[in-house]
Homo-oligomer: A and B are copies of this chain.
């Protein structure tokens, strides 16, 4: 790493632009210019500290920003790396994870995180069209593309109709397959609500993503061909790795 640092020279102090932002912009530009390719390792904090002539905390503030923007990935004990490319994820009435991923020439994979049965609280019961307090099966599932976590979904099924789901999912973590085995060969997505926020620590952990990087949160309702509600799903996408696509 004896490569000379690109010029624009020293930072402007007392000019109305904070030092950490100048550092952020400098690195952002160099990444955009391709100085380091996707996945490549960036200089360590110590090196950047020396290069810019500031305190380590100031460099860290800039890195936090870059990480939150999805441009770099920071790993404790390893270093910082330029982020990789993003995946298109189509949202539509017939959204299916595996198809979606395969269409982009990647290998889909599903991991069941946990399954539980619990009473439905008010708003969930209403969405599912059951009485409040009736049992609901809650399944948490992590979906990956080429081994990289993409989305964490929490599915809620009425237990009365889908009591066999836990065992089915344990054997094969495909929602579509499990529903088919329960007599629902097809289902359609009705509404999707989308928002963005920062992940909880557990979400960040499962999605292998920084806590400072947003997740796209979608809430959807699926119904069977007869119009009965099959499940309510809340999914959290690693915003840096996915782009949702809605076709009208």
Contacts and interface: CB of A to CB of B under 8 A. Distances in A.
Interface string A209-246: 00110111000000000000000000000011011111
Contacts of A214: 196-198, 214, 239
7 contacts: A21-B201, A93-B248, A191-B245, A192-B246, A192-B248, A194-B216, A214-B214
A69 interface: yes
Given A68-B212, A214-B214, A246 B194 contact: yes
Contacts of A163: none
Interface in A164-193: 188-193
Contacts of A195: 86, 216, 239, 242-244
Contacts of A192: 245-248
B65 A198 contact: yes
B244 A194 contact: yes
A74 interface: no
In the complex, which range does the number of interface residues on chain A fall in?
35 or more
A244 B193 contact: yes
Nearest to A246: B192
Given A214-B198, A239-B214, A193 B68 contact: no
A158 interface: no
Contact of A69 (B91, B197, B239, B245): B197
A217 B70 CA distance: 13
A92 interface: yes
Contacts of A93: 248
Contacts of A243: 193-195
B69 A198 contact: yes
A82 B104 CA distance: 42
A195 B241 CA distance: 9
B196 A239 contact: yes
Given A197-B239, A214-B239, 17 more contacts: A68-B212, A70-B197, A86-B195, A88-B193, A91-B246, A93-B248, A188-B248, A192-B245, A192-B246, A193-B243, A193-B245, A195-B243, A196-B196, A196-B214, A196-B215, A197-B214, A216-B216
